[in-house]
Structure 1
C-alpha cells in the first residue's frame, strides 16, 4: 500500500522535461482551456457524461476544490499547451487513471508525449504506482497511437460506448505497468 503522503499530488515536484514542465493547473488557466474546449465537439474526446458549464461555474468549482489537473507548459515562455488529469487513484492496487487534452495549435508536436512521459515516470518511480490506465474512443487514432508509442497495451473494449455524430463507437481501455516502463523507459525519445 502506498503512503498517503506520496499521494498528495499538490506537493509533487515533477522534474522538467526537455521542452515542457508540469505544474498544477491555476485558476487563470481555466479561461484558455474553456476557450479551446468551446471550439470543438468535446464529446469527441471523452465517453464520460459531459456537463457544459460556464467559465464562471468552472472557476467557482476550482476555488472550492483544487482538481488533480496538471498544466502542460512550454519551458521557454510558460505558454499553456494543455492539461493532464489524474483520477481514480487506488492506493490499494497502486493504480491511477489519466486523461489528457492539448490545445489544437499544439497537437502532434511532441508536447503531450513528453508531458505523459514525465508524469508516468514520476508516478512509477517516485509515487510507487504499478499501473497507469487510459481510455479513448476507437475512432481517435491520434490518441491510440500516442498511448501505444508510450508502451500502453490494450486491455479491453467497451462496445458501443461513446456516442459521436449519432453513432455509438467502441471505447478502448489501455494500461501500462511499471515493469513494462522500467524495461522500456521512453523519456529519451521526447527530444524534438
Structure 2
C-alpha cells in the first residue's frame, strides 16, 4: 500500500489506526485491496479488475457520507497514513436503530490486531454517536478468520443462510451474526 501523510480530518482515531473518509487519492490502494484474490476470497462479489471500480466506489462512499446512507472508512495506519483496509457501517434502519458492518484488511497487516482496533472504533461510534441498538454481519461460512473476529468482538451467531451469495457462479452459504448494544463490551 502507498504511504500517505496522516489525514488530519480523521473521523475516528485509535492507538495504531485511524478511520477516515475515502478520497480520490485512495483509488490505487483501494483497487489493490479489492483486486487481491486472497482478500476477496470470501467476499460477496468477485475481485475488482479496473481503477474505475475503485473511483466509482469512492464517489459512492463520498455521496453516502453526505446523505448519511453509509459510513465507509479507510483503515489507515497511524504512523504512515497508508490505507491498510476498509470498514463500513451501512444499511441503516432508523426505526430499528440497526446497521450492518463490513470490513477487510490487506494480507500484510493481518494478525497484528489492526482490524480489532478499527472495529472497536467503528462499533463505539455506531453505538454511541449513531445510537444504534444492533449491528449485523454476514460472513461466508468458510471464512473462519472473520467468524473468529466477530466472536471475539461479542457478535452472536444467529443462523445460516444457505446459498445466500452467488459469486462468479459459485453458491456460498453465509452465517448471520448480531451484536446488541447491551452486549457491547469491547469499547
Per the normalisation by structure 2, the TM-score is 0.80
- Aligned equivalent of 1:54: 50
| CA distance in 1: counterparts of 2:122 and 2:61, whole angstroms | 22
Answer yes or no: is the 8 Å Cα contact 1:20–1:111 preserved in 2.
yes
| CA distance in 1: counterparts of 2:60 and 2:181, whole angstroms | 34
**Count of aligned positions:** 172
- Aligned equivalent of 2:19: 22
Q: Residues 104-123 of structure 1: matches in 2 within 5 Å?
A: 104-123=107-126
Is 1:134 the counterpart of 2:146 in the alignment? no
Is 1:71 the counterpart of 2:74 in the alignment? yes
Answer yes or no: is the 8 Å Cα contact 1:97–1:133 preserved in 2.
yes
| CA distance in 1: counterparts of 2:78 and 2:36, whole angstroms | 25
- Aligned equivalent of 1:154: 157
Deviates more, 1:22-31 or 1:142-151: 22-31
Task: State the superposition RMSD in angstroms.
Answer: 2.6
Answer yes or no: is the 8 Å Cα contact 1:14–1:118 preserved in 2.
no
- Aligned equivalent of 1:80: 83
Answer yes or no: is the 8 Å Cα contact 1:43–1:164 preserved in 2.
no
| SS in structure 1 at match of 2:129 | helix
Flag structure 1 segments of 5+ consecutive residues without an equivalent: 1-11, 188-192
- Aligned equivalent of 2:147: 144
- What is the CA distance between 1:25 and its match in structure 2? 1.1
- What is the CA distance between 1:39 and its match in structure 2? 2.6
| 1:83-139 per-position Cα deviation (integer Å, ceiling 9, x unaligned) | 012221111100001110111111121101100001101110121010111111111
Larger fraction in helix: 1
| CA distance in 1: counterparts of 2:52 and 2:91, whole angstroms | 26
Cα 1:61–1:120 shift into 2, 3 Å: closer
